Every structure is written in C-alpha cells, then in structure tokens.
Amino acid sequence: MSNYNFIQLRVEEAVGIIELYRSEVLNALNRKMVDEIVEALESYDRNERIRTIVITGNEKAFAAGADIEEMANDDPVTLEKLNQFAVWDKIALVRKPIIAAVNGYALGGGFELVLNCDIIIASEKAMFGFPEVNIGAMPGAGGTQRLTKVIGKTKALEWLWLGETMSAKEAYQLGVINRLVAPEIVFEEAMKFAKRLSKQAPLSLKLIKEAVNKAVDSSLQDGLQLERKNFYLLFGSKDQKEGMKAFIEKRQPNFTGE
C-alpha cells in the first residue's frame, strides 16, 4: 500500500483498519486526506484477505468537518475544475462492509463520511451535525441526501437549517447509528462487529449490500429484481454449497469467498 500523510492503516485478522490521523485539527478533512481515505478503501476492497473495513478517528474527534482554510477563498469555477466531490462517489462503489467507530465530533464532512459507512458504532459522547449553514454554506458531499434518507425530510431540515449538533443519544433514537457504547470501548465494539462479519460468506455480504443500497435508491420493483438476480447468483458460489452442507451436517461453515 502507498505511504499516507493523513491516515494510518493496519490489518487485524481479516479486518482492514483506516485511522484518521490529523489530530492537530481534530481530523478535519482536507482534499488530500479524502483522496487517501478513498484510495485506502479501494485497496482494501481489492485485497482478498480483507473481509471488512473499519474507519476510526481518536477520542476527541472522528472528523470535525472539512478544512475551512483550504476552501475559504474558492470560487465556483475553481470548485467546478476541482470536481472535489467526485472522489466521494467512489466510496459507494466499495463492495465490502464499512464500519465507522465514532468518538467525539463527527461534523460536516466528518458526518458525511460516517453516513457513507454501512454500520455505525458510536460513543455515548459522540456529537453529530452539519454546521455549514452557520458559515453561509451547506453540505456538498451527500449530507443533505443521506441524512434525509435516514431520518426523513422534516427532521433533516431542522438539523440542516439550524446547524446544531446532535447528541449520540438523539442520533441513536433517530436511527442514524446502529449501536451506542461507552467511549472507551467504541473501537473494540466496532472490531468485534467487523470480525463477526468477517466470518460470513464474503460474496453474500457484497450482494446483500448491493441489494440494500438499491432499495434505498430505487423503486420496490427495481429492488426486487436485483434481489432475485443476486439470490440466484449466490447459488453459483462454493460458499453457498459449503453453507448449506454445513447446516445439514450441523457444523460451522468454512467460507472462502469463492
């Protein structure tokens, strides 16, 4: 893998870990950092040894927003040329499960990165929100769309318009996050979840993710067609044969990803 300036990578068993590493500015996301995150995600997605991915920050912040100093003097033409959000679109193409382990602040672009993950394990002290309106801006990397799909139009508008922070408890009640845990065990719980997923059939995980994402973004009929196609496709895998044989033989399956 490449050398990175703003993230650190390590692998534990079948879990690829991405640690955001810009603590001096609460992991604020500059453009290069986002490029590194996406490159790492794509690298893990290609690596057959990796079954699941965990993204984490530190105890103070997952990521406290975008790097405002980097973009303060940008103009529309500059932004159009940069097309800086195109790289964010690549996250949705990652087929393996992505789990966010969130401690501290997840604001602005940091919250958008969280919402790009499939499973969110958060600290009881985590804080979420889109404060962009407070500086005359708005989310641009999918925040308005993904938050609305999760919590609905009226609640999304309330949070986006007011620019206030959302407590972890409220985020959990609204269905934004999957699990709420003590601050000191956030990463541990995320890794437990990731390792548990890593024992499942890899192709099943990928095709389930594809089908669920289709359900979010399309009609029921389109989603049903994809679900059925993926169901049929899995019957061509060795893992399906192994899984059903193990069930009949009353033993744990040994999935290989084939």
Distance of CA 150 to the CA centre of its chain: 14
The residues carrying an active-site annotation are 66, 109, 112, 132
Do 185 and 71 contact (CB within 8 A), yes or no? no
Which amino acid is it at 181? V
Do 118 and 97 contact (CB within 8 A), yes or no? yes
Backbone angles phi, psi at 16, to 5 degrees: -90, 125
